[in-house]
Amino acid sequence: MVGDAFGVSSRYWEPPSERTAELLRAAVEMVLDHPELMYEAMDDASLAAASPAIAAEPALAEAVRACVRANLTHWCLANLASPGMPVAPNLAAENIEIARSVVRHGFDEMLVTNFHAGQNAAIRKWTQLAFFVSPDPYEVRELLDVIMGSIFAFIDDTLAGVFELIQRERRELADVDHTERMETLNLVLGGAPISAGRAGARLRYELDRSHLAAIVWSDSYPAAPEPLEQVVNALAQAAGSVRPLTLVPSPSTLWVWLPTAEVPPLAEVRPAMTAPGVRMAVGSIGTGMAGFRRAHLDAVAAQRLMRRLPSGARLATYEEVEVVALATGGDEERAREFVARTLGNLMSADPELRETVRVYLHEGSNTTRTARALFTHRNTIVHRLDRVRALLPYPLEQRPLHIAMALEIVRVLGPADGH
């Protein structure tokens, strides 16, 4: 049972002292006035503890964020009304959606981890707030005792309620096979100790071979499945009519693995990408179960970068964006700061100059090969490089690797606003 007839824990509760209730209400008001005090820390902790199935899929990650924030708000409002008294479990829309996601993806244990990670991050923030609202260590001790007891009971009761929803959802779910396959996939992507044979049998896909992973998705949510399936079919045909493993992590996304040792000609896939908003990120080639996982994570990295691209790229491979993905580490602001420091006035110059020096460095600083690659006379390349040298903050030959990386970042992310 989640709780008694009033929907709260049946544990014995002793009302806090008047002073503790006053301090708790003051702390809660601060959080409700400035929720960002808690949100960022709780989001980061919950998503850091998440499985790849959650972290890699924007819709799932957003569901986790919404759930974490809804739980915080629910607890705060309850303590604003009745400080230190039992808080009813939160079984509102956000947690109902999490329950449905658990059933679709099979990450029951990870749900507990996410809740507790968010809980622990919140407690650290509440501890800081406790010392802010009172300088008296005895008052702080009593306040923290009330806060922690209340949060632990609330999370336990909410989890119990969510798991009841999960069981109800499972009883109503028709596609049991898909649920089992998603549970297995979650184990494989999370690096759990499951054998390749057992995982392959449950996925109905042999893992002891080479794989190419891809993610096909639509910017619309939810999306019609037919345009996404059309792209997957085209990809499989381009790879030699192989039979892919396709799973549905959300109503707008397909995760795909193909048994192939090389990337198929993607030019044959583009004609199938006719529906508005349909896009595809292609990962790397991997071998065995570890390669299966790595190929998918590379597709995820390519997808994340594609979502940030100003050009709205429809198709990209991890190989094309690998340098930028590794260089930015997901921090676009710092990447652009690096670009500005490295390229200096070249950033505001003619894009033709940036492309010339990018190709020049790619061709091993050889002007003849650069001219051939750009279909330009060698003297023109030499002239452009002289102009480039005048614009850079330091000699081109001094930091060629830095300049090449900065130019690659600009090529993929596009120039910053104002350039």
Which pLDDT score, from 0 to 100, does residue 334 have? 65
Rounded Cα distance, 105 and 59, in Å: 12
* Residue corresponding to tokens 């590379």: 298
pLDDT (tens digit per residue) in 32-63? 888 887 887 887 777 676 655 555 566 667 77
- Residue 204, helix vs strand vs coil: coil
Q: Which residues contact 56 (CB under 8 A, 6 or more apart)?
A: 189, 249, 296, 297, 300, 303
Neighbours of 311 (CB within 10 A): 9
Give the start-end residues of each E strand in 25-182.
none
Residue 178 in tokens? 């898909």
Q: Which residues contact 398 (CB under 8 A, 6 or more apart)?
A: none
Rounded Cα distance, 277 and 76, in Å: 39
Q: Tell me the pTM.
A: 0.49
Which pLDDT score, from 0 to 100, does residue 397 have? 87
Which pLDDT score, from 0 to 100, does residue 79 have? 92
Helix residue ranges per DSSP H, 351-399: 351-362, 367-373, 378-391
Contacts of the segment 237-242: beta carbons below 8 A, 24+ positions apart: 237/268, 238/264, 238/265, 238/266, 238/268, 238/269, 239/212, 239/264, 240/264
Which pLDDT score, from 0 to 100, does residue 274 have? 86
Neighbouring C-alpha atoms within 13 Å toward the C-beta of 378: 5
pLDDT per residue, tens digit, the chain (419 aa), is 344 433 444 455 688 899 999 999 999 999 888 888 788 788 777 767 665 555 556 666 777 778 888 888 999 999 999 998 888 888 887 777 776 666 555 555 566 677 778 788 888 888 988 899 998 989 999 999 999 889 888 888 888 888 777 777 666 554 556 777 888 888 888 888 888 888 888 888 889 999 999 999 988 877 788 889 889 988 988 888 788 898 888 778 889 999 999 889 998 899 888 888 899 999 989 999 999 998 998 898 888 878 766 556 788 888 777 666 656 555 666 667 778 878 889 988 898 999 999 899 888 889 999 989 888 899 999 999 999 999 999 888 888 878 888 887 777 667 765 45
The end-to-end CA distance of the chain, in Å, is: 61
Please report which helix (H) or strand (E) contains residue 211, including its range.
strand 210-218
- Kindly report the backbone phi and psi dihedral angles of residue 280, in degrees, each rounded to the nearest multiple of 5, phi listed first: -145, 135
> Burial, 195: exposed, middle or buried (Cβ in 10 Å; 0-12, 13-18, 19+)?
exposed
Cross-strand partners of 215: 255, 281
